[in-house]
Structure 1
Amino acid sequence: MINLKDKKNIFWDFDGVIMDSMPIRNKGFELVLENYPKDQVQALMKFHLKNGGLSRYVKFRHFFEEIRGENVSEEEVKEWAQKFSKIMKKELVQPPLLIKDSLNFIKENYRKFNMHIVSGSDGMELNYLCERLEISWYFISIHGSPVPKKELVHNLLIKHKYKRNDTILIGDSINDYEAAESNDIDFGGYNNERLKELKTLYIESFT
């Protein structure tokens, strides 16, 4: 059985794990795409909710290429992501949105573990939010998209020479599990009971 006490390095997902941000992020997609047909936006929302750990870059590309059948350039995807980020920077700087259960654990244990954030959210936006919310100093580093989460995890393992069996990724989506599995590190599910089906560690509460 996986035990956090046996680990030295914790990679944290952000949305749904450290912050209860998903309702605002959900609304953000609807606001940014408000001039498009509602049925197409709802199709995106279905994809978004099923793939919580994927970046907005992947989701906007999915919207235009798979749902609307249009070609979209990297530059256009970045422009949509920036519009989304502008809303998030305004709406998410709210300390009450931080999840007390996980945040208390982080505050009490950040000296005992090497802690990093690896998120599907935009990396620059995430650093801005953590700085404004005064939680950035609990983490050695904070990383996000457009670099895929699997790659973020791989890069951290190599850069810091972390042993894989000393490392765990804690997340709330199947994409987080896949990022952990592809890098041969343990996974801890949190705040999403569907992850219990994976038969890996599931954290009901950090207390």
Structure 2
Amino acid sequence: MYKHIIWDFDGTLFDTYPWMARAFKETLESRGIDEPAETIEGHMRVSASTAYKHYEQKYGIDEDFLAAYNKKRSEAEMEHSKPYEEIEAVCTYIAASGRKNYLFTHKGITAVELLQKAGIADCFTECITAERGFARKPSPDAIHHLIEKHRMKPEQTIMIGDRDLDLLSGKHAGISACYFSEKKEESDHADYTLHDFKELYSIL
């Protein structure tokens, strides 16, 4: 039985990728560049840094572009992004059953603000966002911090995410890894795979 559940944010707890891609597309358009939102989202789903590097090499986007994009993205996410179906129920169930939720994301404090907006921030024992300064996934440093601070047993701890980076950060820390895929995809790094969060109850 898993007592400690560590969540990724984008594409796992919240369906933010469409709004991230739209904000990126609009920022490109403001500079006279047209790119399909679907293509941008594909790069984003690998990682945000992968998308930045791709378009930096292609168009020479700079820090001013990223600042404008991040402002537009944050505004769009706060207005439109919502948790995936069943997330509110499953996070509430975990907390109410004596287990603990944690957040480990490359995203900034916007992630916590969105949890608050959805009414589930109180379900989380600790949230690690970009401001904390931990090494990026697939580094296990942030997970090691959580394990040590909260005295977790690795065999009772699981990382849930939608990318190989998320799963590898968990595996490198010696814990289980659960892959969430809306598109019915699989990952070689996952101990479990979910296509619907209702399936998580049977794993816990």
Mark the CA change 1:108 to 1:170 in structure 2 (over 3 Å): closer, same or farther: same
CA distance in 1, matches of 2:189, 2:83: 26
Mark the CA change 1:180 to 1:78 in structure 2 (over 3 Å): closer, same or farther: farther
CA distance in 1, matches of 2:191, 2:74: 33
Q: CA RMSD in A?
A: 2.9
Aligned positions of 1:21-170 closer than 5 A: 21-36=16-31, 37-39=33-35, 44-49=40-45, 51=46, 54=47, 56=48, 58-59=49-50, 61-63=52-54, 65-69=56-60, 72=62, 77-78=66-67, 80-92=69-81, 97-111=82-96, 112-120=98-106, 122-145=107-130, 147=133, 148-149=136-137, 150=139, 151-170=141-160
Q: Which runs of 5+ in 1 are unaligned?
A: 1-5
The alignment's TM-score, normalised by the length of structure 2, stands at: 0.75
CA distance in 1, matches of 2:68, 2:144: 27
User: Match for 1:13: what amino acid?
Assistant: D
Pick 1 or 2: higher relative contact order, CA cutoff 8 A, min separation 6: 1
How far 1:138 sits from its partner (Å)?
0.5
CA distance in 1, matches of 2:190, 2:120: 31
Contact persistence 1:19–1:99 (CA under 8 A): yes
Partner of 1:178, secondary structure, is helix
Identity, % of aligned positions = 17
Mark the CA change 1:172 to 1:46 in structure 2 (over 3 Å): closer, same or farther: closer
Contact persistence 1:44–1:63 (CA under 8 A): no
Q: Which runs of 5+ in 2 are unaligned?
A: none
The alignment's TM-score, normalised by the length of structure 1, stands at: 0.74
Mark the CA change 1:155 to 1:91 in structure 2 (over 3 Å): closer, same or farther: same
User: Match for 1:181: what amino acid?
Assistant: K
